[in-house]
Amino acid sequence: MKAHTEYLVFNTVKKIEFVRITGQVENAVKKSGVKEGLVLVNPMHITAAVIVNDNESGLIQDYQDVLERLVPYRAKYRHNVGEDNAAAHIWRQLMGHQVVLPITKGELDLGAWEQVFYCEFDGQRNKRVLIKVIGE
């Protein structure tokens, strides 16, 4: 069994941003030497998520619009005492915390349109994403 760990570092320009990281995950898989296994992609912050979906700007804007309708960012929340990011915590839970992806023949085994995204909901400061590859 092989294991490989990498960390991506982000400091997004905007407070809310979707960053395609498929290439970085693919590179980590290649460096690992794993031919058959799994890769975990985990945002190491409680106001960020990792998702797999289509790389289409309209869809990404739709996500943001739906999240804003469900959990308005500027609404009053009990958590917002000295901070203003309660909605970011909730958005993260709605979008999903992390993903586990298959590795087949040394490559990410994604569907035709699938891409990996880091979803930042309280950005403009340093954040990390863990990439953990395991397999044979």
Give Dmax over CA atoms of the chain in angstroms: 50
* Whole-prediction pTM: 0.94
Strand partners, 39: 101, 133
Residue 73 pLDDT: 93
Q: What is each CA distance from 119 to 14, 48, 54, in whole angstroms?
A: 11, 6, 13
Residue 64 pLDDT: 97
Q: Which residues in the chain show pLDDT less than 70?
A: none
With the C-alpha atoms ordered 16, 17, 18, 20, is the resulting torsion angle positive or negative?
A: negative
Which amino acid type is present at position 113?
Answer: W
Residue 120 pLDDT: 97
When the candidates are 3.40.630.30, 2.60.120.460, 3.40.50.1000, 3.30.360.10, the CATH number that belongs to 2-135 is: 2.60.120.460
Residue 81 pLDDT: 82
CA dist., res. 20 & res. 116, Å (int): 6
Sequence ranges of the domains in the chain:
2-135
Say which DSSP state 113 is in.
T
Question: Do the Cβ atoms of 136 and 104 come closer than 8 Å?
Answer: no
